[in-house]
Amino acid sequence: MSISRRDSHDSSTEHDSVKADKCLLGDGSPSLNNQKPYLKASRWRNYASRLQTFISLPRLACNRATCLLLAGVVLLFYLFTSEHSRTSSHSPYNPFSLTPPYGQSEPWYPSPLGGSSPQWTASYEKASKLVSQMSLVEKINLTTGTGWMMGPCVGNTGPVPRLRFPQLCLQDGPLGLRFTDNTTAWPAGLTIAAGWNKTAMYERGRALGKEARGKGVNVILGPSMGPIGRLPAGGRNWEGFGADPVLQGVAAETTIRGIQDEGVIATAKHWIANEQEHFRQSREWGTIEALSSNIDDRTLHEIYAWPFADAVRAGVGAVMCSYNQINNSYACQNSKLMNGILKDELGFQGFIVSDWLAQRSGVASALAGLDMTMPGDGLGWQDGRSLWGPDLTKAVLNGTVPTERVNDMAMRIVASYYQMGQDDRDAWPHDKEPMPNFSSWTKNETGLIRPGAKDGQTAKINHFVNVQGDHYKLVRQIATEGIVLLKNEAGHLPLDKDGHVMTQNPNRKIRIGVFGTAAFDNPKGPNACQDRACNEFAMGSGWGSGAVEFPYLVSPIRGIKEAMKEGSVEFNEANTDTMTSEIDEMASKSDLCLVFVTADAGEGYLAWKKVKGDRNDLHLQNNGDDLIQRVAGKCRNSDGGGPVIVVMHNVGPVIVESWIDHPNVKAVLAAHLPDQESGHALASILFGDVNPSGRLPYTIARQASDYGPTSSVLYFSKTLLPQQDFTERMYIDYRYLDANDILPRFDFGFGMSYTTFALANFEVHALLPERTALPAERPQPPHIPRLNRHIPPAADNLWPYNGPPIDEHYIYPYIYDIKDSVPSSTIYPYPSGYTVPKEPSQAGGDQGGNPDLFTPAVLIKTLVINTGDRDGAAVVQAYITFPTNVTDSQGNLVDFPPRQLRGFDKVFLEKGQKASVEIELTRRDLSYWDVGVQNWVLPVKGDFKLALGFSSRFGIGDDGIKIIPLGEGVGTWPP
């Protein structure tokens, strides 16, 4: 399988752009042939910082002598692998000069200007009026964070007070506002995905946006649509929306529209292929460089970039570039991905912000399209040595970075602010009220304004504004809809609230055994662990920057007790996960046993036990498998057949084989990550107040290897430059199992209900007037405002105040000496390929890509009928199968996953009720990415198959699979 064929032609690639980063420290003159100045000393600075990484390897416990010895060995090894191997042809991976075996990202310059979408014209006009009045340092102030903990939010930009442009507050995250008070803990991305409810997705986004605005947050750092779930054990999969690009895309688009309809800028993250936590950053994991995700062009388009295209189409104001490398070029300095795909092809109009410390270079990242660096520090937290800030000012003054690039950075940031209406002083009363009105760093009312600085200035920083409204209702609804009923033998669920019917003995109360710590409240409180990084007691979310403080957490046991009729039940509570005789005893005297089990994961900067972000396997944690089997063996020992109901709270797929077929395990629920309303949501499903309507947003396989040979996290790297080759290409999750004829335990899209549904009257209508392989020509952009490109006099950018700065680590844009802007005599090159401007992509033209890609091509209609005896909601899913024998522009046979989700709809139906469902497919849905023509191509020959069903495998039978003959011309399809 070849990877990055297109990328490998040029050994002088983005990879080399790492070199140019040090230009920022240099002082030099512009030169005619674009050979840019570069100061050697800066290389040493970078090396020093890398060495520091090694020397401070956290897990090395050693005495002084061994420490020194180790440091020496590491130093020699490092020098060997970096300096020496520069000239050696034997080194497998060399960060600077050799070509890694797979993957090289091609250069794409210059960075496209924002303002190319007609939907943003008014905002760019306003932005040009404001930014044209800004000095160079004022523009740069917008692009560079003030430093970690140098303001109330996790990210704070510099303001332009002279023009009343405020400091922008950037705050996590995808499921609520991190480090805040009086806000809601929303169900995670995975949970909302499991609900498959587009309206709820939008409403959740909208409520999240409203809370953010109420707290004075300008930019929410979410939603997450990467990782997508290539690796089922990936630590952060739960922040996003499931292992399918279409489901991710729909959820991303609706969430973003919701957030931005409240005037808050949403951030689509993490761009891109950030599929695991191990080695995502060099420092964190003790490697020289971060992991490189090596990925081919077609897979990138059809799987990983797909949901981002939808996010851009929704008008997202910010995109976050990720920590990892892609094809051996860091995401935040990868010109192909930022300039080429995101800004040109996908027509992204907002600004690209780095993940926190994901910026690894100054000039290279600027030229490659990065617009904002966060938190503003350099290569380390609070190091005060920003790669931009004053260095970007110098780079512009000495001609290294074109003024037009900095103009564009500022324009993109200011235009996003206008696009969301943040200049509306009623909605954003910056002048009248403290905004933001909270501090991320303390819960006290008064405290340090900038805890990262030494200035010691204090103020009232927490105003405790309550923005929760009645959002708990929506949280409960979403958490309930995100519960997937996987097994329900003999209709054991729903349970009766009045337990008597279950005792088979009218003379006594029902005895319910509740097993597993996950059912119970954490005695230390639900926020006991830092950023929720532990799997102890009731589990509401995964951990990391995507987690929030719980205002409260209704544990499962509380939810169940509240729901059951008082006095009708006796509870036997085994608040333990340890295999003791207590479990046997409780189980044997229970009529019904509820077992609570979990699988947790999170972001890689924190670990719980041996789980360093990514899960170590796909099994339940805290002895979950053993607990279920033990309870199942003993429940209602009088006859040995007490029904067992298993409730999992899980961050993704779990292997259930050791207990799923146990005769006593009668019902199983995957409850995902419900957050604050956990127990209430669960009770409403257990007792049938709500009919389950969740569907799996991933496949549950029978064994981990069923997901394919490349589906495991790279836990160990043989090299100091970890490489991960995406050789499975598009075949992730159900696409892999289908292609390899592997029977899943529970298929993607699967979930049961307390009622039954049927589909009828399946119709397919062709909507495209003409069958053409390629989309229409890329439309011409509107007028793009351009600002003055003169380099201002260096003196205008000097530190303007009499006193010293607040703190040496606080990031300002000023230079301190005019000599800083003088060119040096040493010349270093720009990234190679810089001087060959790229043609705009024919796949581009507006937000999300060429508008013709979104032309409706096919309309599927069906009738869905509730054939059971309870009200409930059905999720109708549309899958397509591409024609066979398609050849691409290079004459190669094109392979396709057997079935791919392309649309869905959720319909609520009363018992006996029918409703018509319509699902529209666009030209993009019926196209593949042709690497040769660099465009989406719709096969003009052969038949497409369309299947509607209630999961990826449970179609409506052979009769229901509609074939669309795609003969020559439109007249022949549908027949």
Q: Which residues are catalytic?
A: 355
Nearer to ligand BGC, 237 or 400 (CB): 237
Instruction: Assess contact for 291 and 724: CB atoms under 8 A.
Output: yes
Q: Quick check: 83 and 311 in contact, CB under 8 A?
A: no
Give min distance, CB of 604 to ligand BGC, in A: 8
Token duo for residue 519: 């059912």
Helix (H, G, I), strand (E, B) or coil at 353: strand
Of 604 and 848, the one with the shorter C-beta distance to ligand BGC is 604
Q: Are 186 and 233 in contact (CB under 8 A)?
A: no
Local structure of 598: helix, strand or coil: strand
Shortest CB 207 distance to ligand BGC, Å: 20
CB 185, min distance to ligand BGC, A: 16
Q: What is residue 575's three-state secondary structure?
A: coil
Burial of 637 (0-12, 13-18, 19+ CB in 10 A): middle
Query: Could you give the maximum distance between any two Cα atoms of the chain, in Å?
Result: 96
Residue placing its CB nearer to ligand BGC in the complex, 208 or 880: 208
Residue with Cβ nearer ligand BGC (130 or 221): 221
Bond from prior residue into 523 cis (ω within 30 degrees of 0):
no
The site that binds ligand BGC (CB under 6 A) totals a number of residues, namely 8
Sign of CA dihedral 647, 233, 603, 354: negative
| DSSP E strands, 141-272 | 155-156, 169-171, 219-220, 265-271
Q: Are 558 and 521 in contact (CB under 8 A)?
A: yes
* 173 binding ligand BGC? (CB under 6 A): yes
- The continuous run of DSSP H or E covering 546 comes out as none
C-alpha triplet 170, 176, 177: angle, nearest 5°? 40
Give 138 or 603: the residue with its C-beta nearer to ligand BGC. Answer: 603
- Do the strands 723-725 and 292-294 form a parallel or antiparallel pair, or are they unpaired? parallel
Binding mask 861-900 for ligand BGC (x = CB under 6 A): ----------------------------------------
Q: Smallest distance, Å, CB 610 to ligand BGC?
A: 21
Q: 891: which residues sit within 8 A by CB, 6+ positions away? A: none
Cis geometry, peptide bond prior to residue 223 (ω within 30 degrees of 0): yes
Beta carbon nearer to ligand BGC, 222 or 751: 222
Q: How far is the CB of 356 from ligand BGC (least distance, A)?
A: 4
Give the DSSP letter of residue 633. Answer: H
Query: In this complex, which beta carbon is closest to ligand BGC, that of residue 181 or of residue 355?
Result: 355
Residue closer to ligand BGC, measured from CB, 181 or 905:
181
19: its two tokens: 């070199």
Q: Which of 355, 733, 738, 807 binds ligand BGC (CB under 6 A)?
A: 355
Task: Say how far residue 877 (Cα) sits from the centre of its chain.
Answer: 23
Nearer to ligand BGC, 319 or 620 (CB): 319
Burial 691-721 (b: 16+ CB within 10 A, else e): bbbbbbbbbbbbebebbbebbbbbeeeeebb
Q: Which of 496, 424, 446, 389 is nearest to 136 (CA)?
A: 389
Q: Between helices 581-588 and 624-634, what is the axis angle to 10°?
A: 40
218-247 residues in contact with ligand BGC (CB under 6 A) are 221
Specify the length of the chain in residues: 975
For the chain, state the CA radius of gyration.
28
Beta carbon of residue 847, minimum distance to ligand BGC (angstroms, whole number): 23
Q: Which spans in 514-569 are helix H?
A: 556-563
Complex with ligand BGC: residue 271 or 904, whichever CB lies closer? 271
678-686 helix and 471-481 helix, angle to the nearest 10 degrees: 50
Give the residue ranges of DSSP H helices in 388-512: 390-397, 403-419, 471-481, 500-503
Residue 604 vs 674, nearer CB to ligand BGC:
604
Closest CA to 292 of 704, 4, 603: 4
Report residue 827: phi and psi, to 5°: -110, 130
Q: What pairing do the DSSP bridges indicate for beta strands 265-271 and 318-321?
A: parallel
* CA angle, 205 then 281 then 279, to 5°: 105
- Per-residue contact flags (x/-) with ligand BGC for residues 771 to 810, judged by CB under 6 A: ----------------------------------------
H helices of 535-593, in order, are 556-563, 581-588
Shortest distance, CB of residue 385 to ligand BGC, whole angstroms?
A: 19
- Least Å distance, CB 355 to ligand BGC, is 5
Least distance in Å: CB of 153 to ligand BGC? 10
Give the nearest distance from C-beta 700 to ligand BGC in angstroms: 27
Choose, by CB under 6 A, the member of 196, 356, 726, 904 that binds ligand BGC.
356
Minimum distance between the CB of residue 208 and ligand BGC, rounded to whole angstroms?
14
Nearer to ligand BGC, 172 or 244 (CB): 172
Under 8 Å CB-to-CB from 387, ≥6 apart: which residues?
21, 24, 359, 360, 361, 362, 365, 373, 378, 379
Residues in region 265-294 near ligand BGC by CB under 6 A: 269
In whole angstroms, the minimum distance from the beta carbon of 269 to ligand BGC comes to 6
CB 248 within 8 A of CB 307: yes
β partners of residue 447: 459
Q: Which residues bind ligand BGC (CB under 6 A)?
A: 154, 172-173, 221, 269, 355-356, 545
